[in-house]
Amino acid sequence: MNKINELKNQFIDSELDKIDDFIIAKNIFKQLSDTNRLRIFWLLCHKETCVINISKTLKMSPPSISHHLTMLKNENLITLRRQGKIVYYKVSNTKQSELLHRTLDEILRINCSDIDKIRLVKCQETEKKLMENKNSQIDFAKKIHDYLMDNLDKHITIEELSKKFLSNSTTLKKIFKNIYGTSLANHIKFHRLEKAAELLKKSEQSIARIAKQVGYESQSKFTRAFKETYGVVPREFRIK
């Protein structure tokens, strides 16, 4: 027992030495100390929208909204997507954002709203059916696969999939992995890069354009992921 306590204390001491991690946590909590910023964050947890719409919903001025969005973006709590001249914002797909979202929902008891009650009942019905029938699990996983294949150019979060297919994220990931033998993240990455390889072989499109077609906003991230899988960068792959 003494040995266990000693190891436990060593672990605690080592974690306390990670000052940078505590600074990150402090900055995140600091961003959410503002009521309006917290309202904006919660709104973006549930929908993707632009400054004008946020301004109308919260009855705040666009410059004030932009200020709060910048603060949230600097802490990687939200992401943005440009469509023409309009910029759309939504919560980022990170553990920090997910934890904060769940905590906020719990504090505000949002899950007791009528909408969430309906969704909860439907989720329970879906999961009961999935647990009782292997064929239902196969069909469920295939629908998710087909949806992802039809949207390879989009960044789809686990939360979005959970809402669309009426299942909690843990069950969804578990069933998908049981059926396909790999995680959702690895599955979608494999098919994105597979499609990219096909486009590199058969089209004259630029590498940047191909990267966007398979869901990579950054060409550098696409190049790095492609090399990890195929051993060469896209340009070399195309030449060979």
Domain end (from 44, 68, 95): 95
Host domain of residue 233: 187-239
Whether 64 maps to a domain, the answer reads: yes
Whether 103 maps to a domain, the answer reads: no
Whether 100 maps to a domain, the answer reads: no
Residues 91 and 122 occupy one common structural domain: no
Domain end (from 95, 121, 149): 95
Contacts of 32 (CB under 8 A, 6+ apart): 38, 41, 100
Residues 31 and 91 occupy one common structural domain: yes
CA distance 27 to 25: 5
CATH number at residue 203: 1.10.10.60
Per-residue model confidence (pLDDT) at position 80 = 93
Q: Show the low-confidence residues of the chain (pLDDT under 70).
A: 1-5, 7-9, 11-13, 15-16, 21, 24-25, 28, 31, 108-132
Per-residue model confidence (pLDDT) at position 102 = 77
Per-residue model confidence (pLDDT) at position 112 = 46
Per-residue model confidence (pLDDT) at position 85 = 87
Per-residue model confidence (pLDDT) at position 127 = 66
Cα pseudo-dihedral 132, 136, 142, 143, rounded to 10: -110
CATH number at residue 52: 1.10.10.10
Per-residue model confidence (pLDDT) at position 217 = 82
Whether 201 maps to a domain, the answer reads: yes
**pTM of the predicted structure, to 2 decimals:** 0.48
